[in-house]
Chains A and B, each alone.
Chain A
Amino acid sequence: MASVSLSGVHKRFGDTHVVRGVDLDIADGEFLVLVGSSGCGKSTLLRMLAGLEQPSSGSIAIGGRVVNDVAPRDRDIAMVFQSYALYPHMTVRENMGFGLKVRGAAAPEIDAAVADAARVLDIVHLLDRKPKEMSGGQRQRVAMGRALVRKPKVFLFDEPLSNLDASLRGQMRVELKRLHAKLGVTTVYVTHDQVEAMTLADRIALLDKGVVQQVGTPAELYDWPANRFTARFLGSPGMNFVEAELRDGRVFAPGVDVPVVAELLAEGTTDGPVWIGVRPHDLRLEVGGAAGAIEAEVDVLEPMGWETHAHLRVGDARWTARFDAADAASLTPRGRVRCSVAPRSARLFARDDERALYRAPGPT
């Protein structure tokens, strides 16, 4: 097992600057999820870890050893490709044993390793099949088995579940988590799916346009997004925003009046234009006509049964709120609604560079 660290890593393809200065330290045994929207450079970053691409500048270290000039085969990593990349002409057994075989391992040793991995992944009955004789989920397992067999120091996964249907994806997610808990191998996992990121990660690194926006535990990123991009990316439905004004310890926008929590406010924050952000489940419906901090017009109601998603207009902005189904029964489209938000649940972001203006409380 090994730690992984990237420092000042850039990657250019001709004129396109795909990875723009990534610093990242991944601890031994950690499950780090690299998440970001399509084209942000996740795969490129992973391929640089694997040695399939050379960084244009910066350095990559695995287990404390700089590996920029080390061939993929000598990096002690295993990679699971999005396409699975199983060798079509080989059986599952041969696919899984290939890595050991080309490294000159003895046949009994290969057989034992393959049998072990097959047992862990519950694919013993598939060992003599060819890839084309298996379902997508089975191929996925075999691809993981092939990575497992070599007992590498680092696992690299590039969207391994994206070709599976939703229920299988959920199942494999749980299994991946169990597997990591059991083996404890350092893992870098690329996905564009925030659910996978939230559920699997020890820590998430959120990437946008080749730059790491924030690194932290799923809870940190969700509760204390470092900027508006992170706040928007995680959570479904996403955080609601409206352009607002920070003045005299309060945040104002048309229909919005929320007090500032001074102890959370970053040092040096001055009055001026800001964004206020509120998660859909942090909006409370004020029934019985009590004055609320946020006044909105109901646009569309989506009853889910256990709760109701209310699409609202707050000034010019469109917000989503998740209300208790019983409370929402009194709402009508086009009607007015009053909500409140706990001041500590609201988030403030600078209008210019969109950085978070609230800092997580706690030991400093």
Chain B
Amino acid sequence: MDDGQQTVSWGRQLARQALLIAVSAVTLYPVLWVVKLAVSPQASMGGGFNPLPTGFTLAHFERVLTARDTLGNLLFPIQLANSLTVSIATTLVGIVLSTTAGYAFSRFDFPGKDAGMKAFLVTQMFPGVVMAVPLYILMDELGLLNSMAGLTLVYSTTSVPFSVWMLKGYFDTIPRDLEEAALVDGASQWTIFTRVILPLATPAIVVTGLFSFMTAWNEFILAATFLSGERHMTLPTVLYGYVDENSTDWAPFAAGAILVSLPVMALFFVLQRHLVGGLTAGGVKG
């Protein structure tokens, strides 16, 4: 890798770096603005184009982290727990359901297979908001309003179909020879799934898992519809509370936004090596 770089001429090297700096600047500009709002003591939306902070304080973070309800209980840990519960549950439900379903759609023939895949696709064509009202009625009937289980169910209805499609597509690329070899070796169908197919599908599972997690972690509209009361809220709805019609408190909003982004950034950082696929290389042929 390093050798390759040294052979690039100075001119090209310069042009490449300039381009990268430009792209980084464009990407980071809004982020810097959020940071500026979050750490500047006198935060305001004004101040021209300068994205650099005009001072430094952690007061806004403190305000977000130490918000209390009327009884004096800390809210942030509860709300963080809500968000984590819903997101992790959605991810787990999504992975369990969509790996098994995706595998079945990829490998088995059964009545309704094509119709099933198309139905999954159709659900992806409607934005979540369209479903908000019917889902609200359903959740109400089921007594799942204002519960993390209900919200998990709702999020799963959007994330599972996508994940099934993704994973089915990935399973399709895993050669059948591998399964037949395992069958002859003596593995049961379940062993083949868990010991051969799932390990090979790790990159796709990581991607779909990350997708499910982020869908649930960032989602606002449905959460705002189904949840009420500070103690039941997830973090995006909490953030919105800082900039509703009564007040536009951008500083705590920005501080909160940074806090909310951290777990996702950490996840990406941890999982990035899995995101680069290609685990099946070398199994069959040359």
Contact = CB atoms under 8 A, between A and B. Distances in A.
Interface stretch (B55-63, B177-185, B231-239): B177-185
A294 to B, nearest CB: 47
Interface residues of B, number: 25
Most chain B C-beta atoms within 10 Å of own C-beta, residue among A71, A102, A103, A130: A102
Contacts of B185: 73, 98-99, 102, 146, 150
- Sorting the interface of chain A by its residue count into under 10, 10 to 19, 20 to 34 or 35 or more gives 20 to 34
B191 A102 contact: yes
Interface string B185-227: 1111001000110011000000000000000000000000000
Nearest to A103: B186
B130 interface: no
A150 B187 CA distance: 13
B31 interface: no
B194 to A, nearest CB: 11
A82 B284 CA distance: 9
A133 interface: yes
28 contacts: A71-B183, A73-B183, A73-B184, A79-B181, A81-B180, A81-B181, A83-B177, A83-B285, A85-B180, A85-B284, A86-B181, A87-B182, A87-B196, A88-B200, A88-B280, A88-B281, A98-B182, A98-B185, A98-B187, A98-B195, A99-B185, A99-B186, A102-B187, A131-B283, A132-B282, A132-B283, A133-B282, A139-B286
B284 to A, nearest CB: 4
Interface string A130-145: 1111111001000000
B184 A52 contact: yes
A84 interface: yes
Contacts of B283: 84-88, 131-132
A48 interface: no
Nearest to B183: A72
Given A103-B186, A131-B282, 17 more contacts: A73-B183, A73-B187, A77-B184, A81-B180, A81-B284, A83-B284, A84-B284, A84-B285, A86-B181, A87-B196, A89-B279, A99-B186, A102-B185, A130-B282, A139-B282, A146-B181, A163-B286
Nearest to A96: B185
A109 to B, nearest CB: 14
A324 B280 CA distance: 53
Contacts of A242: none
Interface string A114-148: 00000000000000001111111001000000100
B175 interface: yes
Contacts of A32: none
A146 B178 CA distance: 13
B181 A85 contact: yes
Interface of A: 50-52, 71-73, 77-79, 81, 83-89, 98-99, 102-103, 130-136, 139, 146, 150, 163
Contacts of B181: 79, 81, 85-87, 146
Contacts of A99: 184-186
B236 to A, nearest CB: 37
B181 to A, nearest CB: 4
A143 to B, nearest CB: 9
A71 B284 CA distance: 24
Contacts of B284: 81, 83-86
Given A132-B281, A146-B185, A89 B200 contact: yes
B255 to A, nearest CB: 43
A175 B184 CA distance: 24
Contacts of B196: 87
A73 B186 contact: yes
Interface string B85-116: 00000000000000000000000000000000
Contacts of A135: 286
Contacts of A133: 282
Given A86-B284, A102-B187, A163-B285, A52 B180 contact: yes
